Amino acid sequence: AQRVTQPEKLLSVFKGAPVELKCNYSYSGSPELFWYVQYSRQRLQLLLRHISRESIKGFTADLNKGETSFHLKKPFAQEEDSAMYYCALRAAGNKLTFGGGTRVLVKP
Amino acid sequence: DAGVTQSPTHLIKTRGQQVTLRCSPKSGHDTVSWYQQALGQGPQFIFQYYEEEERQRGNFPDRFSGHQFPNYSSELNVNALLLGDSALYLCASSFQDRNYGYTFGSGTRLTVV
């Protein structure tokens, strides 16, 4: 069975500071990892996926199979980054397994 | 394109009652998945429909059932409602090709009293 763990429920950072959201997963096969974001009063939307190896809104995430992690990073947080962030894993079939989420609060 | 549309947006039901939630997928998508998101938790997979059949199911009891119609829209039915069924129910649509991503709806907030 697959599991996704986001150890931090809340991350509070000042504008311009770096932010890192941790995500660890357990899955015996080759997973596909995603980060989803939910801004206030908006629907859940895809932020980035590991196979794309792209940077979206300044965020990057690297899949570390040895540590089974997929941490999300941004060097300089902006106030508009305040949101709920969910790490998700897609294994066999098409279902997504989500972590519990991390709320990011960027203070001015 | 309206994206994924869910109805109703809010619903209050009494314990023991039955409820039906509806989802219209994004144009061009043929697969619908349902998720339950309890307060303060991440979404949990309920089941997925493709070609009008349930293809995958999560750890939910048989009280949770669904249907997909020829136009790809879907319904989620929950029988014998429990207080613990109170949650946000999300619908996500995708194309069966795994290279495509998921589009989520805004959800239906179900409160069981």
- Each residue's pLDDT tens digit, A18-44: 999 999 999 988 888 999 999 998 999
User: Which residues of chain B register pLDDT less than 50?
Assistant: none
Q: CB-CB: which of A4, A44, A94 is closest to B104? A: A44
Q: What is the pLDDT of residue B97?
A: 64
Question: Under a CB-based contact definition with an 8 Å cutoff, are residues B64 and B76 in contact?
Answer: yes
Q: Which residue has the higher pLDDT, A48 or A55?
A: A48
Supply A23's token pair: 């995500």
Q: Which amino acid is at B4?
A: V
- In three-state secondary structure terms, A71 is strand
A70-79, A87-96, B23-32: range with lowest mean pLDDT? A87-96
Residue in B6, B102, B103 to test binding to A, most A beta-carbons within 10 Å: B102
